[in-house]
Amino acid sequence: MAQNSFRAAKGKWYIKRYTVKADAGAIEVGDMIMVTSGGITVALATNAATALVGLASEDLATNAATQTLRVKVPASKEDCTIIGAVTDGAIAVGDTDSLRTCDLEDHEGADTDTDTHHHLLIVKGRVATADGAITAGEAEFKIAQLPVDVNSF
């Protein structure tokens, strides 16, 4: 896991405590967190996430027991942006890819070539990467699919 996979860039964020699914695995600051299918617990986000909750604001070691996690949650999805790695797909520097939705690759990065779940909205590219490149690009995103938006798409 890469420390600070995602980081808050703009807007007002607040900290909310969530119960972590018992087998969620190790969590680090900046990992994207999703709500589990039952909606009662959270876990590390995957490319099949129903909805994203926010960014982990503390580290938690792997533990079989259920734990509480502090998560940085956007106060408003319209005003809050995050910066994160483009770990799959391509991104151009600037506004070329702006206003396009894409999916999360995993808790550490975005897949800008896939748009099945509409997890993220691309605000702008910051570090370019070509499709299939070994080095990750970087972009500014908005979380488009929060738990309250699950039926919006």
Alpha-carbon distance values, 61 to 24, 56, 65, 72, 74 (Å):
10, 13, 11, 18, 24
Same domain as 94, residue 130: yes
Q: Is residue 2 part of a domain?
A: no
What is the per-residue pLDDT for 4? Answer: 64
Same domain as 101, residue 42: no
Q: Is residue 1 part of a domain?
A: no
What is the per-residue pLDDT for 150? Answer: 58
Compute the distance between CA of residue 143 and CA of residue 119 in angstroms, rounded to an integer: 6
Q: Is residue 135 part of a domain?
A: yes
Domains contained in the chain, number: 2
Q: Is residue 64 part of a domain?
A: yes
What is the per-residue pLDDT for 82? Answer: 97
Domain boundary among 74, 100, 118: 74
Same domain as 70, residue 17: yes
Q: Are 121 and 91 in contact (CB under 8 A)?
A: no
Q: Quote the tokens at residue 101.
A: 């939705």
Please count the helices (runs of H) and the strands (runs of E) in the chain.
Answer: 0, 11
Pairing of strands 109-111, 101-106: antiparallel
Handedness of CA 29, 51, 105, 130 (dihedral sign): negative
What is the per-residue pLDDT for 1? Answer: 43
What is the per-residue pLDDT for 52? Answer: 92
What is the per-residue pLDDT for 12? Answer: 95
Q: What does the pLDDT profile of the chain (153 residues) look like in tens digits?
A: 445 689 999 999 999 999 998 777 889 999 999 998 777 889 999 999 988 999 999 998 876 677 899 999 999 888 999 999 999 999 999 999 999 999 999 999 999 999 999 999 999 999 999 888 888 899 999 999 777 665 543
Same domain as 109, residue 66: no
Q: Are 95 and 25 in contact (CB under 8 A)?
A: no
pTM of the predicted structure, to 2 decimals? 0.90
Range of the domain at 59: 12-74
Q: Is residue 34 part of a domain?
A: yes
Q: Quote the tokens at residue 63.
A: 């533990």
